[in-house]
Structure formats: structure tokens, C-alpha cells
């Protein structure tokens, strides 16, 4: 599990370049906010909680070179940096929640000197990082109780150590179950088009000696029918007040298949992935990415030149297909509107 996906080191954001996995494990240092912005956009760093942390540290990069001692000017600059980072990727609400926290600190402290505000912002970014480590462990503990000896599990995309500051959300459940001595196996969907399932999830589960089998996305129904899948865990990028959950494209398909086969379908996500300002999943902005991600496999074309492409990076699973949402506070079940609000006491 010990893998430093993202860390603030000597005034730089050190990340694993996840586009190079599983072939190479390469760390890169983002020393300015523009480099970090592109790393987010290109999925060198990815996964909702890691994006929240990257955004917070991105603010530190953006204020590094601010000269002067005018607090109002500094506050405007922090807001500009936040606006810039907010344009990197639209779906994972963790990114916006972290930026909101950083922004509020300067707006609520108009009388503090710039030097103090810089220190406060750094402490806040580090707190966001540390909080994610703690909540991964709490979610893992709650979710692991659902895994019994001999179970066959399934997951999609990568909601593991590579998506968080610790051992992940959905994959954290597997790690916690393994730590508790449970024996189980995992089917990991490869997750077209960018293969986070086969490149990242299979890589980190194998590294941590979890029994994992990679399958193509279109094999999920057959595996459910013939191999007896007992339970499914996925991550989320944004969960609405009613429990509708956006996650990597293909998650909705998996939930529909799970219902057909009578398989419990759990979403694992911390409070920072909830967007309680929105009522339903219809309000979640879904990122659409470049057509080349679908028409090419690396440099090799896999579709005719000029073909029309639709490439949404996420889909929304309606709450009725979700058996439960594993959070750091425990497992939230239906009715979601009431129970989500009670869990987070809003
Ligand atoms: O496009 P990505 O790789 O950032 O998508 C990631 C996912 O969909 C994850 O499942 C989600 O962010 C949860 S990560 C704990």
C-alpha cells in the first residue's frame, strides 16, 4: 500500500506520472501551477480525492511568487489561482471543495498579513492531505465488514492508492479486508478508453498481493453470470444529495448489470466527494474528453479518420441502483436524501 501518489516536497508537488504506469514508476515534480494544471488535465494525477489534494497544493504553487504585502491584492490573487485550477477538470467535486476551503481562508481573514496567510494556506493544504489519509482508513474499515471469506468482488477504474493520499476508497476496502485476514478475489474492469482499471488497479492490487483478474469492460455480464460475483465496490467523483453518484464511464453499466444479476453494488466515497448543493445527478457536470482517446490506442489508430466520437469520461449511477455508500462515518443506505443529510448533519 505504501505508495506516495502525491506529496508536497520542498515547495513542489511531487506526483507519480500515472500515464506511464504500469510500464514505469516515475515521479515528477510540479514546481509551478501551470505544470500542475496540465498534469491534472492529462491524468498524470487523477482520482477524485487526489485531485482535491492536487488543487490545494496547486494554490500553494500559484502563490509562491506573489510579491508585496497588500492583503486585498493577495486575496484577489488567490481567487484567480483557484479560478484557474477550477478549469482543469469539471467532474470531481473534491477539487472544487478543496479550492473552496483555500479561498475561504483568505476571504475570512482580511486583516491578516500576507506572510501569515501564506502559512495558513500551507497548513490547510497539508490538513486536506492528512484528512484524506485518515478517511481512507475509516472507509476501509467500514467497507471491509461487507467482505466475507471466499467472496468474489468486482471493481472499475482505479479508486485506490493511486487516487488518494493513502490506500484508496473502493480498493481501500479490499486492503482493509486483506489486513483483517479475509480471503477473496477481485475482477477489475480494464476501463476503456484510458485503462485505469488494467493499468492502475491491476498494478496496485498485484503489488499488494490481492488476487486480481483483469477483464475487458464488455466481459462484465458474462463474469457476473458464470463466475458468481458476490459484491461490487466502486469509487465516485461527485455524489448528489439524493445519492446519485458520478464515477468513471462504465460504472452505470455495471450497476445495471449488478441489478439484473442480484449483486450488491456499493459506492465508496468520503464526505469530500459529496456535493450537497445539488439535488440530483442531473446537475453533475460530466467531462467530455478528446476524441483521440477513443480513436487511438497509443499512436495506433483504431477507428477511421474523421469518425464522429462521443467521449464522456464519467456517467451517473442513479441512487436506486446503489445498495449503500460507504463513507468514513459508516455505510449510508436508502432512503438516501434523509440518511445522507443525517450522516453529514446538514
Ligand atoms: O478520470 P479519472 O481517472 O480521474 O477517474 C477516476 C474515477 O472515476 C475514480 O473512480 C474516482 O475518482 C474515485 S477515486 C477514489
162 C-alpha to ligand 1 centroid (Å)? 10
CATH 3.40.190.10 fits 6-137, yes or no: no
CB neighbour list of residue 204: distance below 8 Å, 6 or more residues apart: 3, 158, 160, 161, 162, 171
Please give the pLDDT value at position 49. 98
C-alpha 322/C-alpha 55 separation (Å) is 29
Please give the pLDDT value at position 228. 86
267 C-alpha to ligand 1 centroid (Å)? 12
User: Ligand 1 pocket, 239 CB below 6 A?
Assistant: no
CATH 3.40.50.10470 fits 146-344, yes or no: yes
Ligand 1 pocket mutation pick from 91, 92, 166, 255 by most atoms within 8 angstroms of CB: 92
User: Ligand 1 pocket, 140 CB below 6 A?
Assistant: no
Q: What is the DSSP letter of 7?
A: E
C-alpha 276/C-alpha 206 separation (Å) is 36
Catalytic annotation, residues: 237
Please give the pLDDT value at position 345. 81
Q: Phi then psi for 199, rounded to 5 degrees?
A: -75, -40
Q: What is the DSSP letter of 171?
A: H
User: Ligand 1 pocket, 250 CB below 6 A?
Assistant: no
Ligand 1 pocket mutation pick from 19, 39, 44, 48 by most atoms within 8 angstroms of CB: 48
Rg (CA), the chain: 20
Residues of the chain with CATH 3.40.50.10470: 146-344
C-alpha 311/C-alpha 286 separation (Å) is 10
- What pTM value is reported for the model? 0.97
Residues of the chain with CATH 1.20.120.420: 6-137
The pLDDT tens digits along the chain (346 residues) read: 669 999 999 999 999 999 999 999 999 999 999 999 999 999 999 999 999 999 999 999 999 999 999 999 999 999 999 999 999 999 999 999 999 999 999 999 999 999 999 999 999 999 999 999 999 999 999 999 999 999 999 999 999 999 999 999 999 999 999 999 999 999 999 999 999 999 999 999 999 999 999 999 999 999 999 988 999 999 999 999 999 999 999 999 999 999 999 999 999 999 999 999 999 999 999 999 999 999 998 889 999 999 999 999 999 999 999 999 999 999 999 999 999 999 998 6
Q: Element (H or E) spanning 187, and its range? A: strand 184-189
Q: How far, in Å, are 15, 176, 257 from residue 280 at the CA level?
A: 33, 31, 22
Cα 148 vs. chain centroid, distance in angstroms?
26
Cα 160 vs. chain centroid, distance in angstroms?
8
CB neighbour list of residue 285: distance below 8 Å, 6 or more residues apart: 90, 91
C-alpha 283/C-alpha 57 separation (Å) is 27
Amino acid at each position: 500500500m505504501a505508495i506516495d501518489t502525491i506529496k508536497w516536497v520542498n515547495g513542489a508537488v511531487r506526483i507519480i506520472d500515472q500515464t506511464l504506469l504500469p510500464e514505469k514508476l516515475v515521479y515528477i515534480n510540479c514546481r509551478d501551477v501551470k505544470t500542475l494544471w496540465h498534469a491534472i488535465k492529462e491524468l498524470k494525477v487523477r482520482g477524485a480525492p487526489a485531485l482535491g489534494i492536487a488543487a490545494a497544493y496547486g494554490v500553494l504553487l500559484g502563490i509562491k511568487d506573489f510579491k508585496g504585502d497588500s492583503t486585498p491584492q493577495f486575496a484577489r490573487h488567490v481567487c484567480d489561482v483557484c479560478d484557474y485550477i477550477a478549469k482543469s477538470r469539471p467532474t470531481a467535486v473534491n477539487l472544487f471543495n478543496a479550492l473552496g476551503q483555500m479561498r475561504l481562508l483568505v476571504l475570512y481573514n482580511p486583516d491578516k498579513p500576507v506572510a501569515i496567510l501564506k502559512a495558513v494556506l500551507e497548513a490547510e493544504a497539508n490538513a486536506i492531505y492528512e484528512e484524506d489519509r485518515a478517511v481512507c482508513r475509516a472507509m476501509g474499515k467500514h467497507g471491509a465488514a461487507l467482505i466475507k471469506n471466499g467472496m468474489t468482488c468486482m471493481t472499475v477504474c482505479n479508486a485506490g492508492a493511486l487516487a488518494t493520499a493513502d490506500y484508496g476508497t473502493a480498493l481501500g476496502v479490499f486492503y482493509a479486508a486483506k489486513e483483517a485476514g479475509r480471503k477473496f478475489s477481485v475482477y477489475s474492469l480494464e476501463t476503456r478508453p484510458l485503462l485505469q482499471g488494467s493499468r492502475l488497479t491491476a498494478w496496485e492490487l498485484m503489488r499488494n498481493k490481492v488476487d486480481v483478474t483483469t477483464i475487458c469492460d464488455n466481459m462484465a455480464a458474462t463474469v457476473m453470470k458464470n463466475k458468481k460475483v458476490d459484491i461490487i465496490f466502486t469509487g465516485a467523483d461527485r455524489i448528489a444529495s439524493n445519492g446519485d453518484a458520478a464515477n468513471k464511464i462504465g460504472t452505470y453499466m455495471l450497476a445495471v448489470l449488478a441489478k439484473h444479476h442480484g449483486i450488491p453494488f456499493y459506492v465508496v466515497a468520503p464526505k469530500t466527494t459529496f456535493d450537497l448543493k445539488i439535488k440530483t445527478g442531473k446537475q453533475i457536470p460530466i467531462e467530455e474528453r478528446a476524441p483521440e482517446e477513443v480513436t487511438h490506442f497509443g499512436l495506433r489508430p483504431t477507428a477511421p479518420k474523421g469518425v464522429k466520437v462521443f467521449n464522456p469520461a464519467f456517467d451517473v449511477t442513479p441512487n436506486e441502483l446503489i445498495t449503500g455508500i460507504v463513507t468514513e462515518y459508516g455505510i449510508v443506505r436508502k432512503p438516501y436524501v434523509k440518511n445522507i443529510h443525517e450522516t453529514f448533519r446538514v
